Chain A
Amino acid sequence: MGEDFKPTIIGFVCNWCTYAGADLAGTSRLEYPANIRLIRLPCSGRIDPLFIFRAFLQGADGVLVSGCHPGDCHYTTGNYYAKRRLAIIKRLLEYIGLEPGRLRLEWISASEGQRFADVCKEFTARIKELGPQRRLRQRTAGE
């Protein structure tokens, strides 16, 4: 795989912490690779495991799940549910032959713009190493 591989990364993020953290990265003009697209949800507890599988089926090369730090959830406990669900999904992904490194869970608060940018950089680099995700991607007509 060449240098021109541009991974697609989907981020399922909560509105209160990580989405605001991403906004802060913007306000602070912290540059990071343009591969990530965020889907804003009220809370990481809203993340249905099937969202993640759907993203991989749609050809995402990596999926980031991010919410408030433990104890900081706007809705008190939503991020704990996300954490538990993610733990199981990760094992299932491994079982069906997808590199577990393609799914990443990070707690990023509204004040951690730098951390958001760093996570995006690191994760994009990691996905580039892993290469395109073909395991779950539904074949398009051309392939």
Chain B
Amino acid sequence: MARIGVFVCWCGVNIAGTVDVERVAEEAEEKISNVVYATDYKYMCSDPGQQIIVEAIKDHRLTGVVVASCSPRMHEVTFQKACLTGGLNPYCMEMANIREQDSWVHKDREEATAKALELIRMKVAKVSKLEPLFPIRVPVTKRALVIGGGVAGIQAALDIADANQEVVLVEKEPSIGGHMAQLDETFPTLDCSQCILTPKMVQVAQHERIKLYSYAEVESVSGYVGNFVVRISKNPRGVDTEKCTGCGVCVERCPVKKIPSEFNAGIGSRSAIYIPFPQAVPNWPVIDQEYCTYYKKKKCGLCQKECAAGAVIFDTEPEFIEEAVGTIVVATGYDPWEPVAYGEYGYGIYPDVVTSLQFERMTSASGPTSGVLKRPSDGEVPREVAFIQCVGSRDNVKGYPYCSRICCMYTAKHAIIARHKAGAQSYVFYIDVRAGGKGYEEFIRRAQEEDGARYIRGKVSRVYQDGKKLIVRGEDTLLGRPVELRVDMVVLASAVKAKSDAGKLARKLNIAYDQYEFYTEAHPKLRPVDTNCAGIFLAGTCQAPKDIPDTVSQASAAASKALAILSAQELTREPLISVVDPLKCNACFSCREVCTFNAIEEETLRSGKKVSKVNPGLCLGCGACVSACRNGALSLKGFTDDQIYAEVNAI
């Protein structure tokens, strides 16, 4: 027989001003069955208030407690602790919300008092059916996986490794570094991107607690927070990394030379066996099987003959590795958008219309022109350059409705660099200049005032060639007049878009993504690096477009979240999860279909019967499976059918 105690809070005048709390307590004890004790107090959440609960549990041998006060979102934990102190299982307590959902929203004293009593009656009925529950404990594998070796992944990996935890870093490309390695200078300080990034890349390579898999991908992920098992496929590199000394003779001798270089955004070329860029980490070459003559025709093999170390092996099969990790940081970054939808800008038609990333490579000292700004068409130094912003961003029709966030700033940077490196005059077509950030607005002004960039508000309608010049036609919407400029080069600030395979990886990890395939954070404000899957965190542009400072901040935030998991001896989780009654289960697995968290597994009983089983590490306790089960085999602890019916029946 349940013995329930009811504790009615006055909350000063907040509740007592509208609800006759003394009468509620009296009537609760008299009229509601199973209630053996009821009292009221000015502030139940205060120390003496909690003490009343602690004493009453002991004195009246209570099996359940109902606290009628504020919202459980406010003080559930407080009263759970009080119950624990009194020797009662904290999950045998429920709160009747008579403040937010009663005294604060109703004026009529009679009505509010009656409602308070009814809310208590419903909760008493539920508490009578509650069972003691105990937090779930899961062990933790003390190692983190970081997916993506751009600046976000590098930062996260270093932060975790520096905190004495092991890291597995998986990078899809042959080298880590990501897009930041491609940049020339960075806004708003104009410091050289590679100069600040490459030391970090080397740190990753040399760190004793970081295991780096480059040219590798995450094949599949199983398990749950604290205990993930990740299958990694190492792509065939063509080179034995144990033997390779990184001398680069193979790259020099390779006869297949005219392949557009990914690192140079297509404007430079590379050979079939190549090192992506001089500071690549790791610095081993990789053979591009698509172009290599040996892979295509089994001829050539020059690199193999020239390699003194005998490191060229022409392997074809990926190697699979399994790693156990406790937590995962996803830092897969973005893809620059190809502005082909803007035919009127002539990208892909006129060689002197380039994207911002290509411009970046043209001005970079490690780029194909060794940092001398030259037009791609004839190699001349441009005198006048037009920049067009929001190409693909803030455009519902041809591109994406979102703002790519970095383009305003890097365009100002490009305008400054164009002046510094080529003495060129810049024209910037913009919709709005968005320069929210430390030193950002000042930087825009610097481009305008010190480096003479002319900002024209308006969109460009057409770019076409006239002799050696490009004609840029648009409108100056501030003057309300059409403008026509004769320039030598046009640079398109193309949008930041999600990685083309972002959705595929999200499905492997079981994390959510939005309609543009950016990964979704658990809460846009309060849990910006968490995902809906426990133990998986986000860093950098895979979540949304952002600049380097924000990316690095988020990476460190993700690392600290990951460390919280890794530093625990074992994880404790709320026990409010689903359980299967194997006797009732008929293995239809409707539950598995509705579970977004892959928490339902298949289990074979000793009798040979197959049943579903809830993985307590993955279940988040939403209860979708419970209402999907036709046999009533599933139940959600703390919200069982019995408990909810009890509440409904009490009306």
Contact = CB atoms under 8 A, between A and B. Distances in A.
Given A10-B651, A45-B623, A38 B105 contact: no
Nearest to A46: B623
Interface in B109-144: 111-112, 114-115, 118-119, 122
B429 to A, nearest CB: 34
A42 B651 contact: no
Contacts of A8: 651
A54 B532 contact: no
B596 A77 contact: yes
Contact of A41 (B97, B112, B639, B649): B639
A43 interface: yes
Interface in A37-83: 37-43, 45-51, 54-55, 58-60, 74-78, 81
B532 A30 contact: no
Interface stretch (A21-29, A94-102, A128-136): A21-29
Contacts of A41: 623, 639, 644
A47 B641 CA distance: 10
A37 B100 contact: no
A103 interface: no
A48 to B, nearest CB: 4
B588 interface: no
Q: Which label, helix, strand, loop or mixed, suits the secondary structure of the A interface?
A: mixed
B620 A22 contact: no
A59 B105 contact: no
Contacts of A51: 644-645, 648
Contacts of A40: 72
A127 interface: no
A108 interface: no
B636 interface: yes
A60 B122 CA distance: 14
A41 to B, nearest CB: 6
* B72, B115, B623, B626 interface centre (most CB from chain A within 10 Å): B623
Give the interface size bracket for B toward A.
35 or more
B102 interface: yes
Contact of A45 (B72, B118, B119, B622): B622
Give the interface size bracket for A toward B.
35 or more
Interface of B: 71-73, 97, 99-102, 104-108, 111-112, 114-115, 118-119, 122, 512, 532, 576, 594, 596-597, 620-624, 626-628, 636, 639, 641, 644-645, 647-649, 651
Given A26-B100, A30-B105, A74-B622, A47 B627 contact: yes
A49 B624 CA distance: 12
A50 B629 CA distance: 12
A47 B597 CA distance: 18
Contacts of B641: 48, 50
Closest 4 CB pairs of A and B: A26-B100, A46-B623, A75-B622, A45-B624
A16 B644 CA distance: 18
Given A42-B623, A58-B649, 19 more contacts: A10-B648, A23-B100, A26-B100, A26-B101, A26-B104, A37-B119, A38-B97, A45-B622, A45-B623, A46-B622, A46-B626, A51-B645, A54-B648, A55-B648, A76-B596, A78-B624, A81-B624, A81-B628, A85-B627
A107 interface: no
Interface of A: 8, 10, 19-20, 22-23, 25-27, 29-34, 37-43, 45-51, 54-55, 58-60, 74-78, 81, 85, 117
Contact of A46 (B97, B119, B627): B627
Contact of B102 (A34, A50, A76): A34
29 contacts: A8-B651, A10-B648, A20-B73, A22-B100, A22-B101, A26-B100, A26-B105, A29-B105, A32-B105, A32-B106, A34-B106, A34-B108, A39-B122, A39-B644, A39-B647, A41-B639, A41-B644, A42-B621, A43-B624, A54-B645, A55-B651, A58-B651, A75-B532, A76-B532, A77-B624, A78-B623, A78-B624, A81-B624, A81-B627
A31 B105 CA distance: 4
A42 B101 CA distance: 18
Contacts of A75: 532, 596-597, 620, 622, 624
Contacts of B639: 41-42, 46
Contacts of B596: 75-77
Contacts of B73: 19-20, 23
Contact of B651 (A22, A27, A37): A37
Contacts of A58: 648-649, 651
A20 B100 CA distance: 10
* B72, B122, B639 interface centre (most CB from chain A within 10 Å): B639
